[in-house]
Amino acid sequence: MHFSIPETETRAGDGGAPAYVLRKEYGANVVPAFPPKKIFTLTPAEVEQRREQLEKYMQAVRQDPTLGGSETFNSFLRKAQQETQQIPTEEVLLEVLLSNGQKVKVTILTSDQTEDVLEAVASKLDLPDDLVGYFSLFLVRETKDGAFSFVRKLQEFELPYVSVTSLHNPEFQIILRKSYWDSAYDDDVMEHRVGLNLLYAQTVSDIEHGWILVNKEQHRQLKSLQEKVSKKEFIRLAQTLKYYGYLKFDPCVTDFPEKGCHVVVSAGNNELNFQVRLPNEQIKEGSFKVTRMRCWRVTSSVPMNNGPSGSSPSEVKLELAFEYLMSKDRLQWVTITSPQAIMLSICLQSMVDELMVKKSGGSIRKMFRRRVNGALRRSDSQQAVKSPPLLDSPDASWEPMAKLSSKLTSVSLRGISHSSSANDVGANDFHGNYAFEGIGDEDL
């Protein structure tokens, strides 16, 4: 999502007022500092850099469930997206891609949020209401080999039509994919014909693009099942394969096991999987379980630019750093430098959310927003997990959920820290992972 800003910045023009209101309401330690203003006219390159900083700020704040639920924040974002792109509210046709390449065309308003568009797509496909929460919309960029690079999961506050059209590039598209990690939930989705077809199409696509590893014998078996149109059996076999249900990220750089190593990161099965290319060209593979990550944070840094005055600013680097329990009593920071760092952070957060809901006996079937009388409202399960102050039920059975929810609010990232060093970790820059606290020595 891109936010246009005037070349000469003012308090009203850069969103300072909403940021001030949020900081006043939730405290300076909760809301990250807004990107600093400049009082002089910006060059086109600086305008673009500033726009990216604002975008990353918005995504970072949105990762916090408390701030994300703020109507002040969400209403500002809704208005900002339309006004800055000068897109009036009107009826339009939006194409949403399915994993098999099929395009679903839905009639929406330019002002419709992600939830509206998801419901419109689900309605067009005849996907039952109780399965809508198992799927999400993602902004992707098509690569030369026909695969997709994931930019981000579209958040509730976003206006999908504005987000994709403002990029002015046909390579960017919106795709529908499942949004959960635990393959046990596949059973719920496969209960319905449309859910089965969507899951089958995604599985076939992931295999074709090499996201799921298949040997010759498995490939033969899968092909046979495809020819028989045995979709459930096809998925059952795929579930046994390596990297089933993983999201694969673009090649990037890590400091593990040593600085400057090129790595391909995949997220799935409650872990980040690393395929690292060492300096001697040897490939090593390893996994970092989310339950052994004590905390994580996203940082952004701008390398020093030694070029002539007035030259373009250096590219902003995004890093995801997490503190990992390598062995009993030994914690170590691991850093990933990637433009997809925020997406990686959101993946970790959603894994933790799913784990906590499962441990509390909840179900992701209820983990999505429902519309009540036209207003967006969290389902009871989501309220219990994310925002205990909203609960007014005297039912004692909610108490364990409320206790978990108070932990969950501390799991998510408050914002992007601006740092020149990935190891420069301040107390307010990162958040503890309470799924980590639940493991015992037997897990090591």
- Reported confidence tier of residue 303, pLDDT bands at 50, 70, 90: low
Mean pLDDT of 86-104: 94
Q: What per-residue confidence (pLDDT) applies to 212?
A: 96
Q: Which of 141-145, 248-252, 361-365: highest mean pLDDT?
A: 248-252
Contact predicate 301/317, CB 8 Å = yes
- Reported confidence tier of residue 424, pLDDT bands at 50, 70, 90: very low
Angle at 408 between CA 443 and CA 421, to 5 degrees: 80
Q: Is 339 left (phi over 0), alpha (psi -120 to 50) or beta?
A: alpha
pLDDT for residue 399 is more than 50: no
Q: What per-residue confidence (pLDDT) applies to 284?
A: 93
The DSSP annotation for 84-114 comes to: HHT--S-EEEEEEE-TTS-EEEEEEETT--H
| DSSP letter assigned to residue 154 | P
Taking CA atoms, 434 is separated from 267, 290, 334, 387, 405, in Å, by 19, 10, 19, 16, 10
Q: Which residues of 368-383 are buried (b: 16+ CB within 10 A; e: fewer)?
A: bbbeeeeeeebbbbbb
pLDDT for residue 410 is more than 80: no
Q: Which residues of 53-63 are buried (b: 16+ CB within 10 A; e: fewer)?
A: bbebbbbbbbb
Q: Which two tokens stand for residue 365?
A: 């079937």
Taking CA atoms, 118 is separated from 97, 178, 393, in Å, by 12, 12, 30
Q: What per-residue confidence (pLDDT) applies to 70?
A: 73
Residue-wise pLDDT for 112-148, tens only, equals 999 999 999 999 999 999 999 999 999 999 888 778 8
Of 292 and 315, the one with more pLDDT: 292
Mean pLDDT of 73-99: 84
Mean pLDDT of 39-43: 62
**Which of 133-147, 257-271, 356-370, 430-444 shows the lowest mean pLDDT across its residues?**
430-444
Mean pLDDT of 204-219: 95
Of 279 and 250, the one with more pLDDT: 250
Contact predicate 209/150, CB 8 Å = no
pLDDT for residue 390 is more than 90: no
Mean pLDDT of 312-319: 68
Percent of the chain with pLDDT over 70: 64
Residue-wise pLDDT for 168-192, tens only, equals 899 999 999 999 999 999 999 999 9
> pTM value?
0.76
Rounded CA gap, 418 and 247, in Å? 27
Q: What per-residue confidence (pLDDT) applies to 337?
A: 96
Q: What per-residue confidence (pLDDT) applies to 24?
A: 74
Q: What per-residue confidence (pLDDT) applies to 49?
A: 65
Q: What per-residue confidence (pLDDT) applies to 201?
A: 97
Q: Which two tokens stand for residue 81?
A: 């997206």
Q: What per-residue confidence (pLDDT) applies to 359?
A: 85
**Which of 89-98, 149-158, 356-365, 387-396 shows the lowest mean pLDDT across its residues?**
387-396
Residue-wise pLDDT for 154-167, tens only, equals 988 789 999 898 88
Please provide the size of the chain in residues. 444
Contact predicate 368/178, CB 8 Å = no
Q: What per-residue confidence (pLDDT) applies to 37?
A: 54
Q: What per-residue confidence (pLDDT) applies to 329?
A: 85
Q: Find the distance separating the first CA and the last CA of the chain, reported in whole Å.
A: 40
Of 17 and 361, the one with more pLDDT: 361
Rounded CA gap, 294 and 52, in Å? 29
- Reported confidence tier of residue 299, pLDDT bands at 50, 70, 90: confident
pLDDT for residue 377 is more than 70: no
Q: Which two tokens stand for residue 59?
A: 């995504």
Q: What are phi and psi of 52, to 5 degrees?
A: -65, -40
The DSSP annotation for 303-360 comes to: ----S-TTPPPPPPEEEEEEEEEEETTEEEEEEEE-TTHHHHHHHHHHHHHHHHHHHT
Mean pLDDT of 222-240: 97
Q: What per-residue confidence (pLDDT) applies to 404?
A: 34
Mean pLDDT of the chain: 76
Mean pLDDT of 241-253: 96
Contact predicate 183/103, CB 8 Å = no
